[in-house]
Amino acid sequence: MNMPRSAPLVGGIVLALMTLPVIIIATRAAMASIPPSIREAAYGVGASQMQVIVHHVFPLALPGILTGTIIGIARAAGETAPLLMIGMMAFIVDVPSKITDKATVLPAQIYMWANNPERSFEYLTSAAILILLVILIMMNLLAILLRKKYERRW
């Protein structure tokens, strides 16, 4: 597609394709966890299959779907191996201006800084690790809060 391998768009596509199965499995599990009695009750009052899914099953499965999605995104944020494989280890001097410009990612940058013997990179590595941990903790906290907000008892 005439893009450099270290383009953020390419990295995003790779991570999206890796995260998609996690989200699909979480969604299927959340939809399957809805009791059959809710579906049967909706069918009993004359709802179509699409109405049952949209108005009854999906709203009740939403906490599980949101949790699976956010945890999948948090997992993708910490992935380094696939990004190393596509070449996002490039040394970039300038800030990318377009989504197709060459770039690097935080996990790869942490990896490069950790292998550098200079003392000043020790502080950079520690700071970058803390930033990545804070991002991951915030995403997990968001998943918990959304699950609590949309959770329903039946």
Q: Which CATH number fits domain 8-150: 3.20.20.370, 3.30.390.50, 1.10.3720.10, 3.40.50.300?
A: 1.10.3720.10
- Helix intervals (H) in the chain: 8-32, 36-44, 49-52, 58-77, 81-85, 106-114, 120-150
- The domain limits of the chain are 8-150
Q: What are phi and psi of 51, to 5 degrees?
A: -65, -40
Mean pLDDT across 2-15: 82
Query: What is the Cα Rg of the chain in Å?
Result: 21
- Could you read off the pLDDT of 41-93 as tens digits, one per residue? 999 999 999 999 999 999 999 888 988 898 888 888 877 778 777 777 766 77
pTM of the entire structure?
Answer: 0.72
**pLDDT score for 58:** 92
Tell me the CA end-to-end span of the chain in Å, nearest whole number.
Answer: 50
Q: How many CA atoms lie within 13 A of 46 on its CB side?
A: 0
Residue 52, both tokens: 């049952």
